[in-house]
């Protein structure tokens, strides 16, 4: 049976090993006026200014996966929660607070943009970034093909999603963890 082609970015699903899954996020800042749109499920990176932005396809200073933001809307002056950052927001009061799954041992479910075989388990893959949806705020990024060397994510196993676990066809869902993360396996820093 063919898998559904419905990318959703990186969805937090648990912790590596038998650690308890708290679902916790950490708070970071998005620079006032940041032009990049960041969708729920997008991989984010830490910039030298100490703020976050959306990560590129092969960025190594990944900080985690975006899970929403809070700011005072500059038009309505009301506190606003969004599961995506719409870009170019300059609050007149306060900061733009982003909530990020930043534990390097967190596991994520993600759809492959092609076909991955069972032999991909233990291998590394980069993300394939795609702009998300402003309707529901969800990312459309996917997992790329197996890289020959290091890459952003390590494949842990096939997902147990019954609609997207056919590894013989494209768009299967996989469970991954960060391989290149600012707090793990990254000597360069920001």
Q: How far apart are CA 120 and CA 158, in angstroms?
A: 9
* pLDDT average, residue stretch 4-13: 94
Residue 180's Cβ-side half-sphere holds a number of Cα atoms within 13 Å equal to 26
- Specify the pLDDT at position 149: 82
Q: How confident is the model at residue 1 (pLDDT cuts 50, 70, 90)?
A: low
Q: How far apart are CA 168 and CA 137, in angstroms?
A: 30
Closest CA to 127 of 109, 102, 104, 144: 144
Query: What count of other Cβ atoms lies within 10 Å of the Cβ of residue 97?
Result: 14
- Specify the pLDDT at position 36: 96
The two three-digit tokens of residue 183, written as one number: 């707090």
- Specify the pLDDT at position 65: 97
Query: What count of other Cβ atoms lies within 10 Å of the Cβ of residue 91?
Result: 15
Instruction: Calculate Rg over the CA atoms of the chain.
Output: 17
Closest CA to 181 of 143, 152, 156: 152
* pLDDT average, residue stretch 90-106: 95
* 12 has pLDDT over 70: yes
- Specify the pLDDT at position 44: 97
- Specify the pLDDT at position 185: 67
Nearby residues of 167 by Cβ (< 8 Å), 6 or more positions away: 115, 116, 117, 118, 158
Match 């993600």 to its residue by tokens. Answer: 110
- Specify the pLDDT at position 34: 97
Closest CA to 27 of 79, 71, 72, 78: 71
Q: How far apart are CA 159 and CA 111, in angstroms?
A: 9
Closest CA to 177 of 110, 117, 90: 110
In whole numbers, what is the pLDDT of the chain averaged over residues?
A: 92
pLDDT tens digits, 15-73: 888 777 777 899 999 999 999 999 999 999 999 899 999 998 888 789 999 999 999 99
pLDDT tens digits, 114-133: 999 999 999 999 999 999 99
């Amino acid at each position: 049976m063919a898998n559904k082609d419905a990318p959703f970015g990186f969805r937090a699903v648990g912790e590596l090993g038998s650690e308890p899954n708290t679902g916790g996020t950490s708070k970071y800042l998005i620079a006032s006026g940041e032009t990049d749109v960041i969708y729920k499920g997008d991989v984010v990176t830490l910039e030298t200014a100490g703020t976050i932005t959306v990560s590129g396809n092969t960025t190594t200073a990944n900080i985690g996966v975006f899970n929403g933001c809070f700011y005072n809307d500059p038009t309505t002056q009301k506190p606003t929660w969004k599961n995506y950052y719409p870009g170019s927001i300059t609050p007149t009061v306060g900061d733009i607070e982003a909530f990020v799954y930043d534990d390097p041992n967190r596991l994520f479910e993600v759809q492959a943009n092609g076909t991955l075989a069972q032999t991909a388990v233990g291998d590394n893959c980069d993300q394939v970034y795609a702009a998300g949806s402003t309707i529901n705020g969800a990312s459309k990024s996917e997992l790329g093909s197996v890289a020959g060397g290091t890459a952003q994510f390590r494949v842990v196993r096939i997902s147990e999603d019954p609609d997207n676990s056919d590894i013989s066809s494209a768009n299967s869902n996989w469970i991954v963890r960060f391989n290149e993360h600012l707090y793990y396996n990254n000597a360069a820093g920001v």
